Amino acid sequence: MRYVLGAIVLGALLPAAAPAQVIRSTDFTVPPAWSLLGTGTNNNDFGYRTTANAGGAAGEAGGRFTRTTSTRYYADRNLGTPLPLSTPITASGRLDISDGNSADLGPGLVIGHFNPATAASIGIYFNAQLETPYGLYMDAIVRLGPSAIIQTRITNSPMAFVDRTWNYTWDPVGGIYGAGRLTTTVSGPDGGTVVIDVTAAQAAVAPVFDSFGMYAAAVSSVNQPTWLVETYIDDVSYTAAVPEPSSIVLATMGVLVPGARWLRRRRKA
């Protein structure tokens, strides 16, 4: 007991460090422990599916998202300690767009890491092209908060509805400003790789991401149930955080317990 208490005290004395990271993966063979919000309203119809639209084996996530005045997501809401912009963040998977029109989804639909409390997001972003030619487009996005959005077009023509693979990597010290670079790749005839370099002032906004999955923030006005994108993801891997307090206690225990055994052995000798 003394050693456990000692570990807790030592853990409390250690300076706050970046959360330890793990990569979580799911192939959706069975429903993962993800949270669902907002399906069934305003023609939104998404969640876990037993289908294989995205090109993986049966079982995937997704469905139809519309322009809607409420927040929607299907996501892992339990990443452990929220991931700050000061840590590396990565994700990959498959995706498919099965249907869509020139849907102005307002804040758009994100596949990536996000925080529904602040609308902070990092990853891949779908929205309409609002000038001709109209169509659905795909961007890389770093959204620092509700009104601070940095985005770079990936597709430079209306998207082909094909199976794709995708990945993104956030390097917190990368880019031309040294304040962070998001590198995003999407396969396909109109795909490619783009980067977003964040300035020090932008990084200082310091968003945190507590969720991963499919996320559509609320539009400020006007439900449009026929403005839609239908998309699916599968075989996803994504950065999550090991909760900080337990990881520090465990790491400290790993030092203290063998040390205590060695001391006991030494006293006996």
The yes or no reply on residue 230 touching Ca ion (CB under 5 A) is no
Among 11, 19, 32, 56, binds Ca ion (CB under 5 A): 56
Distance CA 165, CA 54 (A): 9
- Tell me the residue length of the chain: 269
Is residue 93 close enough to count as binding Ca ion by CB under 5 A? no
Please answer whether residues 252 and 80 qualify as being in contact, where contact means their C-beta atoms are separated by less than 8 angstroms.
no
Nearer to Ca ion, 56 or 213 (CB): 56
Could you tell me which stretch among 1-9, 55-63, 101-109, 242-250 binds Ca ion (CB under 5 A)? 55-63
By CB under 5 A, residue 57 contacts Ca ion: yes
- Which contiguous run of DSSP H or E holds residue 37? strand 35-37
The contacts of residue 44 (CB under 8 Å, 6+ apart) are 38, 63, 64, 65, 66, 68, 72
Centre a 10 Å sphere on the Cβ of residue 261 and count the other Cβ atoms it contains: 11
Determine which residue in the list 11, 59, 80, 213 makes contact with Ca ion, applying CB under 5 A. 59
What CA–CA distance (Å, rounded) separates 201 from 144? 11
Q: Which is nearer to Ca ion, 26 or 202 (CB)?
A: 26
* Contact string 233-252 vs Ca ion (x = CB under 5 A): -x------------------
Region binding Ca ion by CB under 5 A among candidate stretches 24-32, 33-41, 81-89, 200-208 = 24-32
CA distances from 219 to 78, 109, 121, 222 (A): 25, 11, 15, 7
Backbone angles phi, psi at 213, to 5 degrees: 155, -140
Number of residues that bind Ca ion (CB under 5 A): 9
Of the residues 3, 22, 27, 251, which one makes contact with Ca ion according to CB under 5 A:
27
The amino acid that residue 12 corresponds to is: A
User: What is the nearest approach in angstroms of Ca ion to the Cβ of residue 61?
Assistant: 9
Q: Pattern 148-187, binding to Ca ion, x per CB under 5 A? A: ---------------x------------------------
Query: Which residue, 88, 213, 209, 82, is CA-closest to 145?
Result: 209
Please identify which residue in 62, 80, 96, 159 interacts with Ca ion, judged by CB under 5 A. 96
- SS3 letters for 43-64? CCEEEEECCCCCCCCCCEEEEE
| Residue 98 Cβ vs Ca ion, minimum distance, rounded to whole Å | 6
Contact window for Ca ion (CB under 5 A) among 11-19, 59-67, 129-137, 166-174: 59-67
- Measured from the CB atom, the residue of 8 and 36 that comes closer to Ca ion is 36
Q: How far apart are CA 66 and CA 228, in angstroms?
A: 4
Binding site for Ca ion (CB under 5 A): 27-28, 53, 56-57, 59, 96, 163, 234
